[in-house]
Structure 1
Amino acid sequence: MGGRISESTIREVRDRADIVEVVSETVPLSRAGASFRGLCPFHREKTPSFFVHPARQAFKCFGCGEGGSVFHFLMKARNLSFADSIEELAERYGVAVRYEGGGVPSRPKDDLYAMLRLAADTYRELLGSPAGKPGREFLRRRGVTPEAEREFGLGWCGTGGELVSALKRKGIDLARGEAAGLLLPSGPGYRDRFRGRVLFPISDARGRICGFGGRAADDAVPKYLNSPESELYRKSSLLYGLFQALPAIRSEGRVLVVEGYMDLIGLWQKGVRGVVATCGTSLTESHARTLKRLSENVVLFYDGDVAGKKAAVRSGGPLYAAGVSPKALFPPKGMDPDDWAKAASPEELARRIAGAVPLMESIERGASRKYDLATISGKLSYVQLMAKYLRWVTDPAERELYAQRVAQTSGLPVETIHRQVGPSGTESLPGGGAPPRINDPRPEESNLLRLLAVDPSLAVAARRDGVGDLLSGEDAREALAILASIAERATGEAEFPLGEDLPDGVRKLLSAELVLADITPDEARRRYPGAVLSLRIRRARLETEELQGKVKGATGEEASLLFDRVVAAKRELERLESERRSR
C-alpha cells in the first residue's frame, strides 16, 4: 500500500464525506438550526449536548468536550486509526486512496463495481442487438437520440437470462450478482431482476455504476423499478446524471434538479447539461448537502401539475436546511420538463431557466392565491401558512424581505409577522436548539480563535501582529501557531483546521469554535481587527489592575515608579477603548 496517505486523498475524502450521514449511523440526530443535535456517544447524558455542523465538517460535545472532524469521530467511535478512518470513508464515498509511495490498493467493493460495469456493458450491447428492438422502439417513441443513448449508457435487459449467462462466463458467483441487486432467486437458480426493461445506469460522482433504474417498455407494473438498497446503491444519496453534469455545473455555477431520468435526458438533448435527477425518491437532506457542495444556485425544475409543485415545496425544506435558497421553474400545466424541452427552442429554454424565480417567492404567490385575502380568516390562514415556510429561511436579509411582503399582503405590521414566524430553524429541541454559548472565562480569545478557525489564513496575520503574546491559554497559543503553519502550507484555498496531528486540547478547542461559528470567511476577515483590538484592551485592563494592586503594597520610590506605570497603563487603556468606540 505504500506509506502515508496523500494529502490530496485526505482532502478529497473529507470533501465527499457527509459527516451528518456518518455520525447518524451511531447517534440519532435532529436538526438544530444550522447544526444537528443528539446524545453524545462518548459519555452518558440525558440532555443532548452533542452537535454536528455539516457546513463546517465538525462535531463537538459541549458536555465531555470531545470534538473534531469526521475522521476523529470514526477514530473515537470505532477505535480506528486515522489511516483506517480515511480508508473506510474512501471506500464508502468512492475515492481512490493514494499513498505517498504511489500505491493504490484494491478494495473489497471493487468486485461489485466491476460486476455492475459488466452488467451495464451487457445491457448496452443487448439494446443494440436484435433482442433489444422493444427497448430501441420505446426510446425512439420518447425522442431519445442514439447520441444520448451512448452518453448515458442506456441498455436493455431481455428475457432470455443474458446477464446470468454473462456472469457465468466470467466465473462470477451468482450470489454476488444478487448482492449487487442484479439478480433475483428463481427456483434452484437466479433470474435477471430487470427483465423486459430499458436500463438507466446510475453512477456516483466518479462515474462508477452503483445501480440501475429500469423503465418498462410496455404497460408492465411497476413502470419504474430501481436497484434495491445495497452497499453501493443508496437512493437517498445518489443523483442520476451527476457524473455527466459535473463539468457544466462547475462552469455555469448552477445545477438543475429534475425528478425523472427522461426529463434529464430530454434537457440534455436541448443543450442543458448541468442537470441531475433524484432516483425515484423525494429530495433528501443528503441530496441537499451534495447540491450545496456543488453550487448554491439550485433550480428545481419539476412537473407543472399540482403534484410537481408540491414536490418542489417539499424539496425546499432540505435545501434551506443545507443553506441553499433554491429557485423553482415549472413547465406549462400538464407538461413535464421532457415535454417542454421537446416543444421549446434551446434559446427559449435557456431564457426560462435563467428566469427561474426563488422557491419562497413561488410559495408566497401560491399562498396568496389560495386564500380569500378580503376576509380576516383568509388573511390568518395565509399568514399561518407563510410562517411555516419562513421558518426555513435563516438568512436575515432574505427573511426580512419575505416578512415585509407577507406583511404588505396581509395588511399587518411586519413585527406581527416576525412574532408569528418565531426564531429560524426547525422545531426546537429540549434545552434549546442551537449549540450552547458556554460561560467562557476568556471570551476575547474564543472570539479570535473562531475567526481563525473559519479562515486559517488570518492566523498568519495574527502571528505577525503579535497576537500570541495576547493569549493566556496554552491551547490557544498552540492553536494559533498550528493554524498559521497550516495557512502557510496551503497552495490554494485555506486548509481544513482539524488535521491529523492536532494535540487533543487544540482539536477540542477548534472543533468548538467551528461548531459555534456562524460567519463566512469574508465576515471573519472583516471582524479580525476588532477581535485583536479587544484582546489588546483586555491585556491593558489586566495590566492596569495588576499594577494598581502592586501600588497598594509599595512604599517610597517603588510606589512612585509604580504609580507612573499605572498612569501610563490607564492612558493606553483609554486610547484603545477610544479606538474601539470610533470603529
Structure 2
Amino acid sequence: MALIRQESIDAVLEACDMTEIVAPYTTIRKSGSTYKGKCPFHSEKTPSFTIDPVRKLYHCFGCGEGGNVFRFIEAKEGLSFGEAVKWLADKYGVRLEYEQSSPQQEERRRLRERAFSLLDQAASFYTRTLWESPRAAAAREYLRQRGFSEEVIRRFRLGFSPAGGKELLEKAKAKGYRQEELVRAGLAGERDGRAYDRFRGRLMFPFTDHRGRVLGFGARVLDDSKPKYLNSPDSDIYHKSDLVFGLGNARQASIGEDRIYIVEGYTDVLALCQAGINNAVASMGTALTESQLKEVSRYTGNVYLAFDADVAGQKAMMRAQELSRRLAIEVKLVRMPPGSDPAELVVSGGGRERFLKLADDALALLEYQVQAALAAADLESAEGRVKAFGALKPILANAVNAVERDEQSRLIADRLRLSPENVAYLLESGARVGTAPDAGGTGRRVLSHDEITERSFLSVCLAQTGEAGRYLQDMTESYFTTAANRSAFNWVRERIGGIQSGSGSDMTSLPPEDPAQAVMPELIIRSETEPYSPQALPELFLRLSAAELLRRIDSLKSSLGDGDDEKDRFRELARLEEKRRRILEHIQSGDFSDT
C-alpha cells in the first residue's frame, strides 16, 4: 500500500485541534498553557491527563499513556497509524498525497480490496438467503426459538449458506470474481481441481474488524452433522486466534462505558445486545488468546470475563490472569450461576438488570484465585496452611495491581494466621523483578532509580536548552540504561543542537516503532509544566555520571582474573573509583556552581 507523504502528515497535524479531538472522550479544562482532565485511558478520581495544544501532545502522569494526536486516535479508535492520519484528514478536510508505489504494491492493494468486497458481498448473499429462501426455514426457526429479534439478527448480519454446494461460487463468478479469489478468501474449497462452496447448509456468523469490514465467517450446523462449527481458514485477512466476534458492534459502546465483556459464544453476544448490553464480544470458546485480549484492550482497560461456570471456563480464567499481568490490564470475573451462560441468563427472565448486577459484583481475577486457593486448602491444620502458603505465592507474584495485591495479602494473613514478617516474605519472594506495577494500581511498570534520574535530566534539558548543550555534547548513550531513554537522549541532543526545528511535528519524525515514542510526550510536557531550579541540571548530570561510572566499575570487576592485562585493569578500576568518589562528594556538597 502506498505510503502517505510526510508533507501530508505535517499538514494534517497542523490542521488538527488537539482539544477538539480529545473533548469527546473526557472533560478538559484550561490550566495555564495546557489543558488538564481525567485520563480517558484509565479510571481515576484526580485529573492527571495533560494536553499540550500547541505541540498536539498528551501525557497521563497516572498510567503513563502518551503521544501525539495521531497516537491518540490510534489508541481510542483502534486504528493503525496510516488509518489515523486518514481519519484526521477526513475530519479536517486535508487532501492526502502518497509516495509513488511499485506495481507489485498496487497489485497487492487491489487484490486486498477485492477480497474485502467479495467477503462483504458473500455476507449479503447469506443474509438474503436467510430471510428469503424456504431452505432457510429451519435456521429462522432456530433463531426464533432462541428468542432473537429480527433487529439484532440483522445488526450482526447473520445469514444462511445454501446446501447446494455451488450457489455462492456461481454468483461470485458471474460478478467477475475468479475461483482462486474465492478459495483465497476462504469461501470455496477445491477437490480434484473442482471448486465447491466451503459453507453448506449452515447458519452464518460474519467476523468483522473494528471498522465493520467482513474478514471471515463462523458457521453452525442445525442438525447433528459434524463438525458442529466450521470457521474460515486463516488467510491474509482472517486470523481466528486474533479476532473476537462482535467487535464492530461493541467498539463504540466499550469506549463510552470504559468496559468490555468477553463471553464464549456468538449467541451470548446476540442475547446481551438484545438486552441492551452492546459492549460484549465472544472469544469463540474458552481458549482466550493474548492477541484477542490485546485487541479488546485497545478500547478499554477494564475487561470482564463472563464464561460458563464449568471446568473449561475456570481454566480460561486462570490463563487470563497470566495474560492480564503481561498486558497490564484489569480483568474481572463475572460469576455466572452454575449451569448457566449469559444468553440463558438474560433470555430466561433475568434480563439486563440481572447480568449487570453480576457484573457489578465481579471479582478481580486475583481475588478469585486467592479465594479459590483458600477454599481448597485445609486451613485448620498447620500442614494445610503451609500448603496454602505455597499455592498463594505464585498467585500474588502474577498480580497486575499493587493495591489489590496488598489487600489480598491482608486477607491471606488473617486466614492463614501469618505474622506480618511472613506476609512480607510472601510478597517479596513472589514478586518478579522488572515487572512490578506502580502503587497506584495502573499496571504500569515501576521505573528504576536510574531510569527516573535519566528522564528527569532529559526533561530539564528541554526546559533549560541554553545550558543543556554543554552537558549533552560530551555524553554518550552509555549514560542511559534503557532503549527508550537512549533513543530519547539522541532526540533531545539533536533538537537542542539545532537539527530539529522545535515545532510540534518533531514527534512525527520518529518512526512509530522508535522506543523514544514511549517517553517523549512525558519529557516534553514535564519540561513545560514543572519548575526546575538552576542547580537541577548540573546535579542530575553528576548523578548520571556517577551511575555510569558505577556500571563501568562493576563490569571491570567482573572481568578481573581473566587475561594478561590485569595490572592495567586494576589501575583503571582505581582511577574510576576515585573519579566516582569525587563526584559523590561534589553532589553531597550541594555546590554546583562550577559544574
- TM-score bin (small chain): 0.5 to 0.7
Aligned residue number for residue 417 of structure 1:
426
Aligned residue number for residue 117 of structure 1:
120
- Of 281, 299, 308 in structure 2, the residue corresponding to residue 303 of structure 1 is 308
Q: How does 1:77-156 map to 2 (within 5 A)?
A: 101-102=96-97, 106-129=109-132, 130-156=134-160
Q: How does 1:103-502 map to 2 (within 5 A)?
A: 106-129=109-132, 130-160=134-164, 161-280=166-285, 282-342=287-347, 343-412=349-418, 413-423=422-432, 447=452, 450=455, 462-463=463-464, 467-468=468-469, 470-473=471-474, 476=489, 479=492, 482=495, 489=504, 499-500=510-511
Provide the C-alpha distance between the structure 2 equivalents of 1:452 and 1:174, rounded to a whole number of angstroms.
Answer: 62
SS in 2 for 1:236: helix
Instruction: Tell me the CA shift for residue 345 of structure 1.
Output: 2.9
Aligned residue number for residue 4 of structure 1:
5
Instruction: Tell me the CA shift for residue 416 of structure 1.
Output: 3.0
Instruction: Tell me the CA shift for residue 162 of structure 1.
Output: 1.9
How far does the alpha carbon of each residue in 1:248-288 deviate from its partner, in whole angstroms, 9 at most, with x for none? 11111111111111111111111111111113462222222
Instruction: Tell me the CA shift for residue 247 of structure 1.
Output: 1.1
Cα distance, 1:241–1:2 mapped onto 2, change above 3 Å: closer
Aligned residue number for residue 571 of structure 2:
none
Q: Which amino acid aligns with 2:504?
A: R
Q: How does 1:44-63 map to 2 (within 5 A)?
A: none
Cα distance, 1:538–1:261 mapped onto 2, change above 3 Å: closer
Instruction: Tell me the CA shift for residue 323 of structure 1.
Output: 0.4
Provide the C-alpha distance between the structure 1 equivalents of 2:230 and 2:183, rounded to a whole number of angstroms.
Answer: 15
Which one is further off, 114-123 or 98-107? 98-107
Cα distance, 1:379–1:136 mapped onto 2, change above 3 Å: same
Provide the C-alpha distance between the structure 2 equivalents of 1:284 and 1:199, rounded to a whole number of angstroms.
Answer: 23
Provide the C-alpha distance between the structure 2 equivalents of 1:529 and 1:346, rounded to a whole number of angstroms.
Answer: 51
Provide the C-alpha distance between the structure 1 equivalents of 2:264 and 2:425, rounded to a whole number of angstroms.
Answer: 38
Q: How does 1:32-71 map to 2 (within 5 A)?
A: none
Aligned residue number for residue 27 of structure 2:
none
Cα distance, 1:394–1:303 mapped onto 2, change above 3 Å: closer
How far does the alpha carbon of each residue in 1:498-523 deviate from its partner, in whole angstroms, 9 at most, with x for none? 71499xxxx68x47x85xx9x98899
SS in 2 for 1:294: coil
Which one is further off, 393-402 or 219-228? 393-402
Q: Which amino acid aligns with 2:199?
A: F
Q: Which amino acid aligns with 1:192?
A: D
**Cα RMSD (Å) of the superposition?**
4.6
SS in 2 for 1:110: helix
Provide the C-alpha distance between the structure 2 equivalents of 1:392 and 1:204, rounded to a whole number of angstroms.
Answer: 31
Instruction: Tell me the CA shift for residue 572 of structure 1.
Output: 11
Q: How does 1:522-561 map to 2 (within 5 A)?
A: 534-537=536-539
- Asked which structure has the greater RCO (Cα within 8 Å, sep 6+), the reply is 1
Contiguous gaps of at least 5 residues in structure 2: 14-63, 68-79, 100-105, 436-444, 477-488, 545-584
How far does the alpha carbon of each residue in 1:182-222 deviate from its partner, in whole angstroms, 9 at most, with x for none? 11224442222221111110011111111101111122222
Q: Which amino acid aligns with 1:415?
A: A
Provide the C-alpha distance between the structure 2 equivalents of 1:228 and 1:311, rounded to a whole number of angstroms.
Answer: 24
Instruction: Tell me the CA shift for residue 536 of structure 1.
Output: 2.6
Provide the C-alpha distance between the structure 1 equivalents of 2:143 and 2:266, rounded to a whole number of angstroms.
Answer: 12
SS in 2 for 1:229: coil
Instruction: Tell me the CA shift for residue 131 of structure 1.
Output: 2.0
Q: Which amino acid aligns with 1:234?
A: H
Instruction: Tell me the CA shift for residue 228 of structure 1.
Output: 1.2
SS in 1 for 2:248: helix
Q: Which amino acid aligns with 1:121?
A: S
Contact 1:292 1:324 in 2 (8 A): yes
Q: Which amino acid aligns with 2:214?
A: I
Provide the C-alpha distance between the structure 2 equivalents of 1:198 and 1:370, rounded to a whole number of angstroms.
Answer: 42
Provide the C-alpha distance between the structure 2 equivalents of 1:166 and 1:280, rounded to a whole number of angstroms.
Answer: 33
Contact 1:157 1:199 in 2 (8 A): yes
Provide the C-alpha distance between the structure 2 equivalents of 1:526 and 1:421, rounded to a whole number of angstroms.
Answer: 40
Instruction: Tell me the CA shift for residue 394 of structure 1.
Output: 4.4
Aligned residue number for residue 70 of structure 2:
none
Cα distance, 1:153–1:477 mapped onto 2, change above 3 Å: closer
Provide the C-alpha distance between the structure 2 equivalents of 1:203 and 1:388, rounded to a whole number of angstroms.
Answer: 38
Cα distance, 1:121–1:352 mapped onto 2, change above 3 Å: same
Instruction: Tell me the CA shift for residue 138 of structure 1.
Output: 1.3
Q: Which amino acid aligns with 2:144?
A: R
Instruction: Tell me the CA shift for residue 525 of structure 1.
Output: 8.1
How far does the alpha carbon of each residue in 1:519-541 deviate from its partner, in whole angstroms, 9 at most, with x for none? 98899789966898553325689
Q: Which amino acid aligns with 2:340?
A: M
How far does the alpha carbon of each residue in 1:356-393 deviate from its partner, in whole angstroms, 9 at most, with x for none? 22111111111111121112332233222222222222
Name the count of aligned residue pairs.
448
Provide the C-alpha distance between the structure 2 equivalents of 1:91 and 1:141, rounded to a whole number of angstroms.
Answer: 45
- TM-score, length-scaled by structure 2: 0.64
Contact 1:393 1:424 in 2 (8 A): no
How far does the alpha carbon of each residue in 1:66-99 deviate from its partner, in whole angstroms, 9 at most, with x for none? xxxxxxxxxxxxxxxxxxxxxxx88999989989
Q: Which amino acid aligns with 2:410?
A: Q
Cα distance, 1:540–1:339 mapped onto 2, change above 3 Å: closer
Q: Which amino acid aligns with 1:112?
A: A
Contact 1:124 1:155 in 2 (8 A): yes
Which one is further off, 368-377 or 387-396? 387-396
